[in-house]
Amino acid sequence: MKEKSDNTTANFNWFRMFWDGFTHMSKLGKTLWIVVIVKLIIMFAILKPIFFPDFLSSKYKSETDIGNYVGEELVDRSDTFNK
């Protein structure tokens, strides 16, 4: 026997699915969305800009300068560690 849901694809509407999904969300769903949003805010609005700037881009603007810097670093470190 075919279920009612088998005929639903023809009437499928992406927007409606998301609208209903979010507006009729369970308490668990809402809790999880809060966790996700808070986590992403902490990661991208606090941790990344304050504690995790791109080390090389913050020192040099052009790729050539970055390449020169890394090249010099690699040469200098060999002198430091390799007696």
Partner 1 sequence: MELLNSSLIDWSRAQFAMTAGYHWLFVPLTLGLGVIMSIMETIYVRTGDEAWKKTAKFWQTIFGINFAIGVATGIILEFQFGTNWSNYSWFVGDIFGAPLAIEGIVAFFLEATFISIMFFGWNRVSKKAHLTATWLTITGATLSAYWILVANAWMQYPVGMEFNPDTVRNEMVDFWALISSPVAINKFFHTVLSGWGLGASFAVGIGAWYLLKKRDVDFALKSIKVGAIFGLVSFVFLAVTGDGSGYHVAQKQPMKLAAMEGLYEGQHGAGLVALGMLNPAKKSYNDDVNPYIFKIELPKLLSLMGYRDANAFVPGVKDIVDGGFPVKSGETPLSFEAKKEKGKKAVKALANFQTVKKEGRDTSEYEQALKENYAYFGYGYLDKPEDIVPNVPLTFYSFHLMVMIGLYFILMFAIVWYYHGKKKMETTRWLQYVALWSIPLAYLAGQFGWIVAEVGRQPWTIQDVLPVNAAVSGLATGNVVITFMLFVLLFTALLIAEITIMVKQIKKGPEL
Q: In the complex, what is the shortest distance from the CB of residue 31 to partner 1, in angstroms, rounded to a whole number?
A: 6
Q: In the complex, what is the shortest distance from the CB of residue 73 to partner 1, in angstroms, rounded to a whole number?
A: 6
Q: Is 51 helix (H, G, I), strand (E, B) or coil?
A: helix
Name which of 8 and 61 has its Cβ closer to partner 1: 8
Taking only Cα atoms into account, the Rg of the chain, rounded to an integer number of angstroms, comes to: 26
Distance CA 5, CA 64 (A): 59
Tell me if 66 sits within 8 A of 60, measured CB to CB. yes
Return residues touching partner 1 (CB under 8 A): 1, 3-9, 12, 16-18, 20-21, 28-29, 31-33, 35-36, 39-40, 42-43, 47-48, 51-56, 63, 66-68, 70-78, 80-83
